Amino acid sequence: MNIKKFLSIKIHKSMIQAGIPSKYNVILRSCKKKIFGNYQINGIISAAIHLKINPNNLAKKVVKNIKLNNILTNITVSPTGYINFFLKKEWLSNQINLLIISKKLGLTKNIISKNIVIDYSSPNIAKEMHVGHLRSTIIGDSMVRILSFVGHNVIKSNHIGDWGTQFGILIAFLKKKKKKINFLLSDIEKLYKQAQKKYITDINFTKLAKYYVVKLQQKDSSCLRIWEKIVNITMNYNYQLYKKLNIKLNHHDTMGESKYHDMIPNIIKDLKKKKIAVNNNGTLMIPIKGVQNKKGKLMAVIIQKKDGAYLYATIDIACIKYRYDFFKADRIIYYVDSRQSQYLNQIFQIVRNAKYVPNNLQLEHHMFGMILNKNNKPFKTREGTNIKLNHLIDESIIRSKNIILEKNPLIKKKLLEDLSKKIGIGAIKYADLSKNRIHNYIFNWQKILSLNGNTSLYIQYAYVRTISLLKKANINLNNFLNLEINFISQYEFDLAVSFLDFEEIIFKIVEKGTPHLLCNWLYKITVLFSSFYENCNILNIKDTKLKISRLKIVLLTSLFLKQGLYLLGIDIIEKI
């Protein structure tokens, strides 16, 4: 359940009964100082000023109308009009028991399932994925998991650029050199760099490359054979990388620009007919109302060059139309970096003006910042080149292995390999996901692989502790699901209260695409669990009911940590 929403609805009725206009909402927050209560009601003061009433007196009127005696206790009013209260231990005990047996850890909100397309990862063809692809890939993957978890039908879309100028460059270069394509992706990338250099410096080669772009778009059989080989080599490499990263993307989710190619002639014809696209000296473009370039002239999006070649914008317009027509999308989310913000907004404007999508279709750009080094510069190699994503993963695994060996030099090799992968990959993913996506962040090896602080390893280690306690206890807790939880200490009570925030956190993420909120919550319950673990006797206790009570809290902690890490795409570990 969403405890804050549940209480806010009840308390809002009490505010209205106290004479407060309905426009004043309940502002319910967790108390910073636990001695005052679990929650605090704000918002009374502004209403009191409007009604010209003393805030303390108005708050007392509200309290008299609160009929939640079975849930709340110790309701107090501060001199300034804040209302503080505690949750009743008996009620909280019942909620904990319900959480343990619930299918989705207390998610009770009934949603209308939507078809949601998530556009993420989008690696470059003929190049290895680099660190710049990390954020889109792992944030998108986490959102796929979270949206699916709450009940939406999620369509994963790995939109790859397999139909543009780079293919004209590569095809021209390979044909000119008469090279056969029987090599690795790294070899193709080297060839592409050579070809690109020639494209910039050799006018004749530039013309030849543009010629082959058009030939490819006209589906020339020779060009198609080369194109298909390059795409397959690239994506087979990427699928292995996705598997390594525990990313839910495979060949079924790959939707290249070529998929929409046959739609484009009709779209161009339609845009011209609707007078949305205009001809400017042989170039077809769409003026964007209200947007000017640096020279103060109206900006325009080009959709077809003089030579007949299509551009990215043409493909993206067709792509959105396809996603609505074929997938019946209710919501389309793009996980693309912030530099594409203006461009995507222009594409969204075009498809709406053309009536390719209805007004109620949500088109969202969930932008993200950059990964930086300690000097606040883009995170690159010493030579200034992009860090290969595979190299970054391998380095994290090696560093994790060294940390494990320091703690346990006699660990078995198979376990060492398994743990180092789970810890190393989890560390990279969590370091990114725990940051608000709209901000840049500094990549720091020492911080991301620390056993302390807001890291995946800290949370994974807490999970190990929960599993260890449950195994040592060797008690079937299913036989005690109705047994009341005894809250003897503040540590176990605070931990139990924090469980009630799960639904609120999840649905905030569903709305905003901000998985860092889940990371913050997991870190919070891990800190609270650590305090509970260190200050409360769990196993060596004579009172059997109290022992089972505390083990049930341990069990629920383990369930939340496991589910939370899964939603982030991070593996649990059961021993270290």
pLDDT band at residue 199 under the 50/70/90 scheme:
very high
Q: Whole-angstrom Cα distance, residue 280 to residue 273?
A: 16
Is the pLDDT assigned to residue 182 strictly greater than 80?
no
| 3-state SS, one letter per residue, for 390-414 | HHHHHHHHHHHHHHHHHHCCCCCHH
Is the pLDDT assigned to residue 243 strictly greater than 90?
yes
Range with the lowest mean pLDDT among 230-239, 303-312, 480-489? 303-312
For residue 108, the model assigns a pLDDT of 87
pLDDT mean across residues, the chain: 94
pLDDT, tens only, 376-427: 998 987 777 889 999 999 999 999 999 999 989 999 999 999 999 999 999 9
Q: Which of 504, 569, 494 lies closest to 247, judged by CA?
A: 569
Q: 3-state DSSP call for residue 556?
A: helix
Is the pLDDT assigned to residue 290 strictly greater than 80?
no
| Strand 83-87 with 39-42, pairing | antiparallel
Q: Which of 542, 372, 523, 393 lies closest to 462, judged by CA?
A: 523
CB 43 within 8 A of CB 25: yes
For residue 576, the model assigns a pLDDT of 80
Characterize 119-141 residue by residue with b for buried, 16 or more Cβ atoms within 10 angstroms of its Cβ, and e for exposed: bbbbbbbbbbbbbbbbbbbbbbb
Mean pLDDT of 150-169: 93
CATH superfamily, with its number, for domain 3-87 = Arginyl tRNA synthetase N-terminal domain (3.30.1360.70)
CB 387 within 8 A of CB 130: yes
Q: 3-state DSSP call for residue 83?
A: strand
Q: Which pair of structure tokens corresponds to residue 568?
A: 């982030």
pLDDT, tens only, 492-528: 999 999 999 999 999 999 999 999 999 999 999 999 9
Domain positions in the chain are: 3-87, 392-567
Residue with tokens 């590569």: 170
Helices marked H in 442-543: 445-448, 456-473, 490-499, 502-512, 516-535
Q: Whole-angstrom Cα distance, residue 398 to residue 387?
A: 16
Taken as a whole, the chain contains a residue count of 576
Is the pLDDT assigned to residue 437 strictly greater than 90?
yes
Q: Which pair of structure tokens corresponds to residue 418?
A: 């398994």
Is the pLDDT assigned to residue 162 strictly greater than 90?
no
For residue 298, the model assigns a pLDDT of 75
Q: Which fold has domain 392-567?
A: Isoleucyl-tRNA Synthetase; Domain 1 (1.10.730)
| Beta bridge partners of residue 285, listed in sequence order | 278, 302
CA angle 535, 537, 541 (to 5 degrees): 160
Characterize 317-335 residue by residue with b for buried, 16 or more Cβ atoms within 10 angstroms of its Cβ, and e for exposed: bbbbbbbbeeeebbbbbbb
Q: Which of 389, 413, 513 lies closest to 130, judged by CA?
A: 389
CB 469 within 8 A of CB 551: yes
Q: Whole-angstrom Cα distance, residue 447 to residue 374?
A: 12
Neighbours of 442 (CB within 10 A): 15
**pTM for the structure as a whole:** 0.93
Is the pLDDT assigned to residue 309 strictly greater than 90?
no
Q: Which pair of structure tokens corresponds to residue 255?
A: 């939707």
Q: Which of 340, 341, 350 lies closest to 286, judged by CA?
A: 350
For residue 142, the Cα-to-chain-centroid distance in whole angstroms is 4
Residue with tokens 């209805």: 358
DSSP summary character for residue 183: S
Is the pLDDT assigned to residue 109 strictly greater than 90?
no
Is the pLDDT assigned to residue 311 strictly greater than 90?
no
Give the full edge-to-edge strand order of the sheet including 83-87: 27-30, 39-42, 83-87, 72-77
Residue with tokens 């021993």: 575
- Sequence-separated (6 or more) residues with CB below 8 Å from residue 567: 142, 145, 146, 149, 515, 518
For residue 32, the model assigns a pLDDT of 87
pLDDT band at residue 214 under the 50/70/90 scheme:
confident
C-alpha distances out from residue 246 to 132, 340, 569, Å: 18, 27, 6
Count Cα neighbours of 25 within 13 Å in the Cβ-side half-sphere.
Answer: 5
C-alpha distances out from residue 148 to 225, 251, 255, Å: 37, 19, 20
Secondary structure tally for the chain: helices H, strands E = 20, 14
- Sequence-separated (6 or more) residues with CB below 8 Å from residue 430: 448, 455, 456, 459, 519, 568, 570
pLDDT band at residue 46 under the 50/70/90 scheme:
very high
Q: Residue 49 belongs to what H/E stretch?
A: helix 44-51
Helices marked H in 278-379: 312-327, 341-353
For residue 161, the model assigns a pLDDT of 87
Q: Which of 504, 501, 502, 499 lies closest to 553, judged by CA?
A: 499
Q: What percent of the chain has pLDDT over 90?
A: 86
Q: What percent of the chain has pLDDT over 70?
A: 99
Residue 407 one-letter amino acid = K
For residue 218, the model assigns a pLDDT of 87
pLDDT band at residue 217 under the 50/70/90 scheme:
confident
Q: Whole-angstrom Cα distance, residue 514 to residue 422?
A: 23
Q: Whole-angstrom Cα distance, residue 153 to residue 564?
A: 20
